[in-house]
Structure 1
């Protein structure tokens, strides 16, 4: 059966199948958000009003401004747009929204073997029932488990082969990460011949939001996920503050962690590692500016924070990071994360890590200075430090540090496979 496919930028949108692709690869997107995108693209010759969206996309169901804004953010994240850089979906204030990107239409043969991919809904305090499974495409399922204290944790597995567990690091939301251009390359890079297990830690994403924020509780999250995935022993990857959690877990659960990989990690948060009044004042200022940006939604403050993660990135990347971050948790929880992470300190646990450890770090990382990677290398007995050329705290797919990191990672994991984990 022939179908019309709408092409814009690097994207193809098949309205009949309800399928969005980027560079011919399907993108997972929440069904209502996908329906909204389809309607906007189909009627791109005019402005679509909120009233029309309510009547057609929502079929007359209640639609609040906040809910519509959330679905628009999901659409924009999926196609690399932002609220400020509206190259695809433009807000026409007082009237509605219009799809404005140059679009061509071609006729193609529909592929009935590739169904539209549903996704899990947004996180909430209650969340889905434990043990439930939410489909996110044929290769990726979001599942739910409970910790010893009853907190519900969302986790997912993708790929096949020996396991690789990624310790959670905020911001994360399982149903959005793989279709977000800022993070999609991590999943393509980490599943080469491996089964990647990841999860949303308590307080964010699809896991419970109403909970505690302590290191012991974060370790409970990882215990619950490893048990649910039926893993006895596995290599553990920690990125940014997830590296601190990974260090603590490897120290406290030596029987479970075969190898430890740390990227952009640190033993002590900015407040915890301050050595004098000047560094303490700088840590407080950094925290205050970021919190002010979160509570007041101040764009300049939020860019100040995001620019530390993507120092070599253009301003639109900072905005995309901020938009994604705001979709992962509440403002109150975001403030709690920032405060707790600044005080985080696992320097007393690092010397107790007994497994082989690979530490990688960008030389000119402004968010976490390279001195913190050196401290980890000094503290962890069986560790090796590899410095990557670059300035980004979170690696991007187009910088030389990214393939260098993957090469080091897979060479390190190959020894684990030979040893049998």
Structure 2
């Protein structure tokens, strides 16, 4: 059921509900991308009501700023209100895992459980980014030269898509199917909002790795499931900082999966989430 949620400043946000049952609201990665959880909704629809949305400026939502963490958190709450949810399980993927964590810290009474998928912990990005870049370049293999050429030029819209697909191909464990999976992520193609990406990543440098964030995580009384793909090019040790800070945490690493584990190990992903949420209603 597709609909439009209105942010409190009037910006229109694309939203969707699939399935029946207890609510699970999903926060996509990026920033500057769009919802990639269609496969997740299909996997979980028999057990849960899955709510998806495009963050402001992204995908099918209105391409309007301002772009900030506070604004995006308020937009997430607008989606919650739009669907009439008093409490919800919250799933975040990649950068969306940061968003979901911050929302749970600010509004723990509205979050029944947190599912943190393929995130990078609570330290500064500088702590893990060099290891990530090395792994990315290795995973890109024969596509690395073309990816670098695109990265350092003014790109057309078609080149933006090519650049993104090449980069996303490194997010899958199986090289034989990596380009196929990455191409599927780009259909339909909505165009990356690089201004949104730059603004939110710059803000993250002031928010992440602070004693205040670590203390807030230590006080978070929300059951949390951390799901990692063992083959993610983002080093999994980066998530240790979050795991060690949270008081109520379960961590599962899925073999043969990388950054989008629901694509490469769908049944294990489905079982892990449904069992966790069943035990933490």
Aligned position for 1:152: 12
Aligned to 1:142: 2
How many residue pairs are counted as aligned between the two chains?
258
- Residue in structure 2 matched with residue 386 of structure 1 by the alignment: 252
Matched, 1:353 2:220: yes
How far the C-alpha of 1:318 sits from its partner, in A, is: 5.6
Q: Per-residue deviation at 1:380?
A: 1.7
The equivalent residue for 2:277 is: 413
Within 5 Å, which residues of 2 pair with 1:67-106? none
Listed as ranges, the gaps of 5+ residues in structure 2 are 138-146
CA distance in 2, matches of 1:369, 1:169: 17
Cα pair 1:163 1:234 within 8 Å, conserved? yes
Give the direction of change, closer, same or farther, for the CA distance of 1:322–1:416 in structure 2 (3 Å limit): closer
Q: Distance in 1 between matches of 2:132 and 2:47?
A: 46
Distance 2:153 2:22 in 1: 42
Determine the structure 2 residue equivalent to 1:320. Answer: 183
Say which SS state the counterpart of residue 258 (structure 2) adopts. Answer: coil
| 1:294-373 equivalent positions in 2, closer than 5 A | 295-296=155-156, 297=159, 301-313=163-175, 314-317=177-180, 320-321=183-184, 323-324=186-187, 327-329=189-191, 333-334=193-194, 336-337=196-197, 340-341=200-201, 344=204, 345-347=207-209, 348=213, 349-366=216-233, 368-373=234-239
Question: Quick one: structure 1 residues 190 and 342, their matched pair in 2 at CA, closer, same or farther if it must change by over 3 Å?
Answer: farther
What are the superposed Cα offsets for residues 268-301 of structure 1, whole Å, 9 maximum, x if unpaired?
A: 58xx42149x939959x98x95754783517875
| Structure ranking higher in helix proportion | 2
- Give the match for residue 122 of structure 1: none
- Report the secondary structure of 1:255's partner residue: helix
- Secondary structure of 2:221's partner? coil
Give the SS at the match of 1:185: helix
Q: State how far apart, in whole Å, the 2-side matches of 1:195 and 1:213 are.
A: 28
The structure having more radius of gyration, on CA atoms, is 1
Tell me how far 1:217 sits from its aligned partner. 0.9
What TM-score do the two structures reach when normalised by structure 1?
Answer: 0.54
The alpha-carbon deviation at position 396 of structure 1 amounts to 4.8
Query: C-alpha separation between the residues in 2 aligned to 1:318 and 1:406?
Result: 19
1:403 positional shift: 1.9
Give the deviation of 1:410 after TM superposition: 0.9
Deviations 1:176-227 (A, max 9, x none): x6xxxxx643122121222111111101112111212211111011100101
* TM-score (structure 2 length as normaliser): 0.79
Relative to structure 1, the CA distance from residue 377 to residue 160 in structure 2 (aligned partners, 3 Å threshold; closer, same or farther) is: same
Deviation larger for 375-384 or 238-247: 375-384
The 3 A distance-change label for structure 1 pair 224 and 363 is same
Check conservation: 1:293, 1:301, Cα contact below 8 A. no
Checking the alignment, whether the CA contact within 8 Å between 1:373 and 1:385 is kept in structure 2 is no
State yes or no: 1:273 paired with 2:125: yes
